[in-house]
Amino acid sequence: MATTKQLLLLRHAKSSWDDPDLIDFDRPLSGRGVKAAPLAGRELARHGWLPDLALVSPALRSRDTWRLVSAELPAKTPAKFVQALYEASAADVLAKVRQANAATSSLLVLGHNPGLEEFARRLAGAGSDAAA
């Protein structure tokens, strides 16, 4: 009997555009993002959506989101910071998901739009509720 796998997709929390001299990769979270990320972690825990592994874009806002989210989870979750998830297309995200260890039963991918959103849209398929 096949084991059900779980894939969790999470976009980084709201980032700051306050410093125009920073390159995109180094943009931090905004105040709103710092408040929202722990809430996302609590929601993951509340629903029992607990990843065995997190694949995280190494951009500062993604790393900070993961730090705040994972602090709310009941167990420490290993994270791999994956350069290919920064500015990733939907195909790039799929490639990284496919490369995950077969023993991973619940995988969280934390990255950026538009690639992450497009990946989710492709997974949902044409018959899905567009508003969802």
Across 35-39, 102-106, 128-132, the highest mean pLDDT is recorded for: 35-39
Can you state the angle between helices 31-47 and 60-70, rounded to 10 degrees?
40
The answer to the question of residue 40 being in a domain is yes
The answer to the question of residue 35 being in a domain is yes
The answer to the question of residue 69 being in a domain is yes
- Higher-confidence residue: 2 or 54? 54
The answer to the question of residue 41 being in a domain is yes
The answer to the question of residue 18 being in a domain is no
The answer to the question of residue 130 being in a domain is no
- Residue 1 confidence class, pLDDT cut points 50, 70, 90: low
Q: What does the pLDDT read at residue 80?
A: 97
Tell me how many domains the chain contains. 1
> How far apart (Å, rounded) are the C-alpha atoms in residues 75 and 51?
9
Can you state the angle between helices 90-98 and 115-124, rounded to 10 degrees?
70
Q: What does pTM read for this prediction?
A: 0.94
The answer to the question of residue 128 being in a domain is no
- For the residues 5-19, what does the mean pLDDT come to? 97
Q: What does the pLDDT read at residue 105?
A: 95
Contact 124, 130 (CB under 8 A): no
Q: What does the pLDDT read at residue 86?
A: 98
Contact 70, 54 (CB under 8 A): yes
CATH of the domain at 109: 3.40.50.1240
Q: What does the pLDDT read at residue 2?
A: 60
Which domain, by its residues, includes 76?
A: 6-13+25-123
- For the residues 31-38, what does the mean pLDDT come to? 98
The answer to the question of residue 131 being in a domain is no
Q: How many CA atoms lie within 13 A of 77 on its CB side?
A: 29
